[in-house]
Structure 1
Amino acid sequence: MTHHIFIPIAMAPVAKTALPTPTLVSVEEQEVLNLTNQLRASVGCAALVVDEHLQVAAEGHTSYMATTNIMSHTGAQDSSPSIRAKNAGYTGLVGENVAYGYPTSAAVVEAWRTSKGHYENMTRCSYKHIGIALVKTANGTAYWTQDFGEPR
């Protein structure tokens, strides 16, 4: 099986709004959060808190990638991570990790951990919020997104 990761990016800030109650949809997404927060703790960063706006952005983009079978930071209608986050109601600086082909939470977090840019996103202490999504295609290919947010 081929595994791919994509270079993470950080985008420009947008204005801040109130945060609704966040939820993670799957056990796998919760495990990604746990593993990411363990990594952050090991370098002295505070735990990330799930933000519903970033969750919506991550879910939408991951669904788009799985539907189109294209892993990219560019989404529907040529959207960027910051535009997707803004459209979902998040305000602040946004960064994103995407991947596909990793069947487990542990595998995708390890791949991101061993990639410089992805690791930097996961251990950037100024990020306080996260949205995490996993979508599997009909043939079982896993698409993953982590959207990180730094409040303004």
Structure 2
Amino acid sequence: METRSMPGPFARLMRILWLLPAAQAAAAGAGERAESIEVLEQRMAELVNRDRAEAGVPPLAYHKGLAAVARAHSADMKANRFFAHDSPRTGKVKDRVAAAAIPNRGVGENIARAVTVESAQANLMLSQTHKENILRREFTHIGIGLARDDDGLLLCTQVFMKVPPTYDTAEITRQLVEGINKARLAKGLRRLLDDATLAQQATAHSERAARLGNFDPLWLEGELRRRDRRWRVHQAAYFLTEDLAEVIQSDVALSSVPDHVGVGVVQSAAKSKEAGALWVTLICAQKK
């Protein structure tokens, strides 16, 4: 088969059109190249908080540890020529945050490849799943990490996190007892009397659970039988939760049998696997 080369002027035109996107990228990114990566990372964080403000969502605090995680992932993508959330070397974002020993109650990640941080953020907001991360109310902190690929484009990684909250466990205990009695009265059940001894036993069990990483019903049963013989019957329920309604609406809380209650609440250590969750022991008993 005979082949012919294109006429000279047309061939030159095709080459010019082919090179145009790269030329546009180079021109658009030239100004950003003069700025440090750290400045661009801060600018992207500001853009995220701008979009959150426009959506009526609280701003995210900047977290240097998350930024280091994000920067390392962007560098990994550049060095190993891939563009994905999962890395053969570091796993998923939750693995990277865990490896950095950053306590959290949940993480998320966005990645983008663009000429500028402005265009990267705009494109992320056009993607529903990425937009959900940006606007998620539960997230409290963000870290941004950037790297430039061989084409001069920005590899952008945004890492989001919810930090473990700090609870006033005495106040949580008060709210639970009050909430249980309010729910009981609404159902026509008698009010439960808050019993100090039951509360001490419940707290001891929650402390043990937080230390061991699991509840121990047999231990609690033995403690109740050995240390307190005032009760005709007692019932207990255990929760690892932050949802107080789960405790208040439980079958044990709304049983018609008991007349006394004890609640023990202990918060998990921030660096534990449960990272700030509440260990709740509820004991309801009927006096002899």
Fold-level match, TM-score > 0.5? yes
Cα separation, partners in 2 of 1:124 and 1:88, compared to 1, 3 Å: same
Q: Is the aligned partner of 1:98 residue 2:98?
A: no
Contact conserved, 1:53 with 1:89, CA < 8 A, in 2?
no
Q: Once the 2 structures are TM-superposed, how far is the Cα of residue 71 of structure 1 from its aligned partner?
A: 0.6
Task: Name the structure 2 match of 1:46.
Answer: 58
- SS across alignment from 1:77: coil
Could you say what secondary structure the match of 2:160 adopts?
A: strand
Amino acid at match of 2:112: A
Question: Unaligned stretches of 5+ in structure 1?
Answer: 3-23
How many residues of Structure 1 are paired with residues of Structure 2 in the alignment? 130
RMSD over aligned Cα, in angstroms? Answer: 1.8
Residues 64 and 76, structure 1, Cα contact 8 Å, conserved in 2? no
**Within 5 Å, which residues of 2 pair with 1:98-117?**
98-100=111-113, 102-117=114-129
Is 1:144 the equivalent of 2:156? yes
Q: What is the CA–CA distance in structure 2 between the aligned matches of 1:119 and 1:37, rounded to whole Å? A: 12
Q: Spell out, residue by residue over 1:117-152, the C-alpha distance to the aligned partner (whole angstroms, 9 max, x if none).
A: 000000001111111011002431321100000112
Distance in 2 (alpha carbons) for counterparts of 1:119 and 1:67: 27
| Corresponding position: 1:132 with 2:149 | no
Q: TM-score w.r.t. structure 2 length?
A: 0.43
Change (3 A) 1:128 1:25: farther
The runs of 4+ residues in structure 1 deviating greater than 6 Å are none
CA contact (8 A) 1:53 1:90 kept: yes
Report the identity percentage: 28
Report how far residue 89 of structure 1 moved.
2.2
Instruction: Report the AA paired with residue 147 of structure 1.
Output: V
Picking from 56, 59, 77, the partner of 2:89 is 77
Which structure: larger Rg? Answer: 2
Correspondence for 1:36 among 48, 57, 64: 48
1:26 is displaced (CA, Å) by 1.8
Pair 139,117 (structure 1): closer, same or farther in 2 beyond 3 Å: same
| Partner Cα separation in structure 2 for residue 47 and residue 74 of structure 1 | 27
**TM-score after normalising by structure 1:** 0.79
Amino acid at match of 2:159: D
Q: Is the 8 A contact 2:71 2:144 kept in 1?
A: yes
2:100 corresponds to: 88
SS at match of 1:125: coil
Q: Which runs of 5+ in 2 are unaligned?
A: 1-20, 23-35, 165-288
